[in-house]
Amino acid sequence: MEKKFEELKKRLHEIYYLQSVMSVLTWDQNTYLPPAGANARGSHFAVLGKIAHEKQTDPKLGKLIEELIPWTKNLPYDSDEAALVRLAKREYEKAVRLPTPFVAELNEHLAKTYQVWVEARAENQFAKVEPYLEKTLELSRAYAEFFPGYEHIADPLIAESDYGMKASAIRKIFRELREELVPLVEQVTSQPEADLSFLHQHYPKERQLEFSRYIAGRLGLDQKRARIDLSPHPFMIRFSHGDIRITTRVDEQNLADCLFSVIHETGHALYELGIDPSYEGTPLYDGISSGVHESQSRLWENIVGRSRDFWEYFYPQLQAVFPAQLSQVSLDEFYRGINHVKRSLIRTEADELTYNLHVIIRFELELALLEGELRIKDLPEAWRSRYQSDLGVTPPDEKRGVLQDVHWYAGLIGGAFQGYTLGNILSAQFFEAALKAHPDIPNQIKQGNFTTLHDWLKENIYRYGSKYTAEEIVQRATGSSLTIQPYMNYLRKKYKELYRIT
Amino acid sequence: MEKKFEELKKRLHEIYYLQSVMSVLTWDQNTYLPPAGANARGSHFAVLGKIAHEKQTDPKLGKLIEELIPWTKNLPYDSDEAALVRLAKREYEKAVRLPTPFVAELNEHLAKTYQVWVEARAENQFAKVEPYLEKTLELSRAYAEFFPGYEHIADPLIAESDYGMKASAIRKIFRELREELVPLVEQVTSQPEADLSFLHQHYPKERQLEFSRYIAGRLGLDQKRARIDLSPHPFMIRFSHGDIRITTRVDEQNLADCLFSVIHETGHALYELGIDPSYEGTPLYDGISSGVHESQSRLWENIVGRSRDFWEYFYPQLQAVFPAQLSQVSLDEFYRGINHVKRSLIRTEADELTYNLHVIIRFELELALLEGELRIKDLPEAWRSRYQSDLGVTPPDEKRGVLQDVHWYAGLIGGAFQGYTLGNILSAQFFEAALKAHPDIPNQIKQGNFTTLHDWLKENIYRYGSKYTAEEIVQRATGSSLTIQPYMNYLRKKYKELYRIT
């Protein structure tokens, strides 16, 4: 049976490295690809995607897994071998449910839709991409139908990024969160607005990059195993245990953009870098879910990187890099500036507090579309009216409205957004558990020392990769299921102090 | 039959794009790969290499080619379809002759040898890599034995990079060349040495890069289809018709290194960029041989880029970029500086004239090794004695001797070097033919205009890709076989003028 297990690992290796080659192609596409190389890049993906899909759905792989299942019954649930077979089974069963022609049609449609969206957004014309989005909705429903027996039609789509989560559960969590968030946002935004102009002076590109790299290194990003490049939209991508790439962008008129993007992506990278190296080459070497992954980017970006403790240590260094811009700005002004709350139109520019309201709107619109309660042609209006009611702002055009995010125009509808807010919630839940185990962490952060926090996260989350489900990881690390209370406690404490609300 | 031809193209497409993905991996490995990513990169290559080899040797591919051969007999020799089937047949037959376990053993051995060579060179210890090189020699002989019926054991190895060339023919050409070169080198190096210190002032990196990029663009490197990055050793690599990458390095104490590397690699890139776009996705989209490829890098680097005409136009611009360093250096001093001839130890740093002597030594040592006339353990001594007799310099150590070039330590012995000198010879032969058709080319170069030359090269060489053999290309473009006279005429004229030899 060990021989069969080795054969399974060999097959999984091939799939893992093919996927990781596709990651190299994706990274290059977003960083260095010359414009005229785009077409051939499509062919690279098509050729590799076809080969990977053949290997993922090879009946010999399925047979091997079936033969190994009885063997794993005698292994402890916690054994890596049992976990690997479990995960391989889940992924194989998913892969074989999707017919190859459907996958090909979907990929072609999404590539085309993305192109049209780029134009539609530039021209501020939802109508241009509307028929494509209609088709995306159809394909999203068709996708779900390959997984019959669901409770809500969005569930198979949500399972793609947050396996184990269901629309009903997320709805409940988001309803609770919204109820507590809305009055807090009310209180905070009724305070006078801060002057943020100091963040929008001229900050030279090279110095921004250098300082961001320095911070990433201090947070634990190992330069032998990771690098930072430029791309239009920041992201993190893994090629292997020893090779993680993050990207950022630099706006010379906005100090916060590059810096917090780098901290955010560093959070994602620390997760992937922290996975047990023995999992390399198997599906265990992967972050477990969108929610848990975002919890790490948001924990490092917001809970650590936008804390007063953090800047107590680093602000003098930042001032030394930008003396002309910052020598007259106090630590408190800076801290308030990077945490300023304001109802706004654009999700990616939103503050920590209103961010979730953007996500919840999108999540609920997705469900309404899938349920047939909302038609694509009514989506722009639904978007406007939800922004008006939930955020008190109305998009003056579609590019600042329904056309702003790439997700629906490059992927399926359903499951695209919930991970961001699940991640925010979990970031505080994990941080609370870490603090309980090590109450000294805030003091260490004040000294620019992140070792204890990093080690706790690695020990309790990172190293497991995809060995456990997200629910199991949350339970093991925090002793309870996902709950919004640590997050609301964190937000209330931070923002009531910041805005001097009693 | 057209349907079978389409099926052939489909299979060749897969192989082409798999190879091109491997090029992406190679490029990344040499430019951006973090050190800890090297092991997994080996796995990327292994997985893709195995799949590509399976596809290259698929008996269904062989059958398809056999079925198409009679059909091509009715097509003109010049038809693209006939050329594609011819080339596919040649490549298939080569691929199936090499047993899969041999290829795997060879790749593993070469990867290991490369690692050991890096250490051996750093420690200046040939003995360390000697047993690996013994094995490489064995494997090189074994490689040749898979292609029985050769005239010289090096022929199958030479055919890898310069298909159609034989050891006997190259020996003859190199003998003639050497006989004419040696007295010329004598004459030139008996003149007083020039003062080159102006080339070794401090030249800031960014400005060197910017000027080199500017020159590449002026020579015709299309920025939408190509880009320039940094790597320890300059190279050119193609991902697709719309995506060519070149790399360079910058030595802030040496103005010539980056600049001429970029012009050299731009020459390679112009060749690949000029291939008929309809060949994309097939083996026709490739440079035809090492010799013809080098002819283009050397034509642009030396015949154009080190000419007085070229700098008559560009030198004032270079002076404007580096006024502190160059305002006191005249055009003639600069021209003499970048063409200074000096017998030296290192091939890659050699001038245009002595460069070929370095190559000829290596080529003859390769033949002697393969013939069994020279043993690996005697190679360092043979190297020293040849440098003493042919170049009048003796390597004081092995890293400046037999350990200097990577070729034998990362590839087979035989066929590694001849392309450089064949390229030099052809560069002048092609340039002479272009001049004959368009005598105004030198005047155009004086005005920074390369269109006529570029168009002629594209029309007569580039666009054909691998449609014709190297011999056919040379015949078609110049009206004769490869001949050293244009090259010797070019060298004599240039260096006698430069050194005022009568």
Which of A106, A139, A158 is the endpoint of a domain? A158
Residue B317 placed within a domain: yes
* Number of C-beta neighbours around residue A91 at 10 A: 17
A265 is catalytic: yes
Calpha distance B86→B109 (Å, rounded)? 32
Residue B263 placed within a domain: yes
Length of chain A: 502
Residue A241 labelled as part of a binding site: no
B231 with B144, same domain? no
Closest CA to A159 of A113, A101, A98: A98
A255 with A330, same domain? yes
Length of chain B: 502
Residue B253 placed within a domain: yes
Calpha distance A87→A446 (Å, rounded)? 40
Residue B11, min C-alpha distance to chain A (Å)? 11
Which of B145, B161, B177 is the endpoint of a domain? B161
A151 with A175, same domain? no
Query: Chain B interface, mutation test: which of A25, A41, A230, A279, most B Cβ atoms within 10 Å?
Result: A41
* Residue A342, burial from CB neighbour count under 10 angstroms (0-12, 13-18, 19+): middle
End-to-end CA distance of chain B: 65
Which distant-in-sequence residues (6+ apart) come within 8 Å of B161 by Cβ?
Answer: B289, B290, B415, B416, B418, B419
Cβ B159 vs Cβ B149: under 8 Å: no
pLDDT tens column, A236-247 = 999 999 999 999
Indicate the SS3 state at residue A121.
helix
DSSP string, A124-193: T-HHHHHHHHHHHHHHHHHHHHTS-S-SSTTHHHHHHHSTT--HHHHHHHHHHHHHHHHHHHHHHHTSPP
Which pair of tokens denotes residue A385? 């009216």
Query: Which H/E stretch holds residue B226?
Result: strand B226-230
Q: Which of A43, A226, A280 lies nearest to residue B17, judging by beta carbons?
A: A43
Cβ B272 vs Cβ B287: under 8 Å: yes
Amino acid occupying residue B272: E
Phi, psi for residue B246 in degrees, rounded to 5: -120, 155
* Yes or no, beta carbons of A17 and B43 under 8 Å apart: yes
Q: Which of A21, A24, A224 lies nearest to residue B36, judging by beta carbons?
A: A224
Give the CATH number for residue B211: 1.10.1370.30
The pLDDT profile of chain B, 502 residues, written as one tens digit per residue, is 889 999 999 999 999 999 999 999 999 999 999 989 988 998 999 999 999 999 999 999 999 999 999 999 999 999 999 999 999 999 999 999 999 889 989 988 998 899 899 999 999 999 999 999 999 999 999 999 999 999 999 999 999 999 999 999 999 999 999 999 999 999 999 998 888 999 999 999 999 999 999 999 999 999 999 999 999 899 999 999 999 999 999 999 999 999 999 999 999 999 999 999 999 999 999 999 999 999 999 999 999 999 999 999 999 999 999 999 999 999 999 999 999 999 999 999 999 999 999 999 999 999 999 999 999 999 999 999 999 999 999 999 999 999 999 999 999 999 999 999 999 999 999 999 999 999 999 999 999 999 999 999 999 999 999 999 999 999 999 999 999 999 999 999 999 999 999 8
pLDDT tens column, A311-339 = 999 999 999 999 999 999 999 999 999 99
Calpha distance B85→B376 (Å, rounded)? 41
Residue B493 placed within a domain: no
Cβ B383 vs Cβ B396: under 8 Å: no
Number of domains observed in the structure of chain B? 2
B122 with B218, same domain? no
pLDDT value of residue B5: 97
B323 with B459, same domain? yes
| Strand duo A243-248 + B236-240: pairing | unpaired
Q: Which of B47, B223, B241 lies nearest to residue A17, judging by beta carbons?
A: B47
What residues does A248 pair with on adjacent strands? A230
Residue A268 labelled as part of a binding site: yes
Closest CA to B416 of B159, B126, B141: B159
B80 with B221, same domain? no
Q: Which of B20, B24, B34 lies nearest to residue A225, judging by beta carbons?
A: B34
| Strand duo A236-240 + A243-248: pairing | antiparallel
Residue B344 placed within a domain: no
Nearest-Cα residue of chain B relative to residue A16: B44
A253 with A383, same domain? no
Q: What is the mean pLDDT of each run of 10 residues along chain A (502 residues)?
A: 95 97 95 92 92 96 97 95 97 95 90 91 96 98 97 97 97 97 95 92 98 98 96 95 97 97 98 98 97 98 98 98 98 96 94 97 98 98 96 95 95 96 98 98 98 98 98 98 98 96 86
Calpha distance A427→A299 (Å, rounded)? 5
A276 with A214, same domain? yes
pLDDT value of residue B104: 86
* Yes or no, beta carbons of A34 and B280 under 8 Å apart: no
Nearest-Cα residue of chain A relative to residue B17: A44
CB contacts under 8 A, A 13-42 vs B, are 13-14, 17-18, 20-21, 24-25, 28, 32-41
pLDDT value of residue B194: 85
Q: What are the DSSP E strand ranges found in B287-431?
A: none
Query: Chain A interface, mutation test: which of B28, B224, B241, most A Cβ atoms within 10 Å?
Result: B28
Calpha distance A157→B444 (Å, rounded)? 63
Calpha distance B211→B359 (Å, rounded)? 30
Judged by a CB distance cut-off of 8 A, whether residue A488 touches chain B is: no
Residue A229, min C-alpha distance to chain B (Å)? 9
B242 chain-A contacts, CB cut-off 8 A: 34-40
Nearest-Cα residue of chain B relative to residue A32: B227
pLDDT value of residue A100: 87
Q: Which of B34, B44, B47 lies nearest to residue A242, judging by beta carbons?
A: B34
* Yes or no, beta carbons of B37 and A280 under 8 Å apart: no
| Strand duo A236-240 + B236-240: pairing | unpaired
* Yes or no, beta carbons of B47 and A18 under 8 Å apart: yes
pLDDT value of residue B193: 87
Closest CA to A427 of A262, A274, A298: A298
A186 with A203, same domain? no
pLDDT value of residue A502: 82
Query: Which H/E stretch holds residue B419?
Result: helix B418-437
Nearest-Cα residue of chain B relative to residue A22: B21
Strands of B236-240's sheet in order across: B226-230, B243-248, B236-240
Indicate the SS3 state at residue B375.
coil
Calpha distance B284→B277 (Å, rounded)? 10
Which of A419, A443, A464 is the endpoint of a domain? A419
Amino acid occupying residue A498: L
A13 with A109, same domain? yes
A146 with A274, same domain? no
| Whole-Å CA distances, A365 to A178, A380, B383 | 15, 10, 75
B25 chain-A contacts, CB cut-off 8 A: 21, 24
B221 chain-A contacts, CB cut-off 8 A: none
Closest CA to A365 of A401, A423, A414: A414
DSSP string, A32-59: T--GGGHHHHHHHHHHHHHHHHHHHT-H
Calpha distance B161→B167 (Å, rounded)? 13
CB contacts under 8 A, A 199-238 vs B, are 222-227, 229
Residue B279, min C-alpha distance to chain A (Å)? 13
How many residue pairs bridge chain A and chain B with CB atoms within 8 Å of each other?
Answer: 120
Residue-number span of the structural domain to which B240 is assigned: 199-338+420-470
Q: Outline where A201-251 has alpha helix (H).
A: 205-219
Catalytic residue among B265, B272, B301, B366: B265
Which distant-in-sequence residues (6+ apart) come within 8 Å of B440 by Cβ?
Answer: B452
Nearest-Cα residue of chain B relative to residue A51: B51
A260 with A384, same domain? no
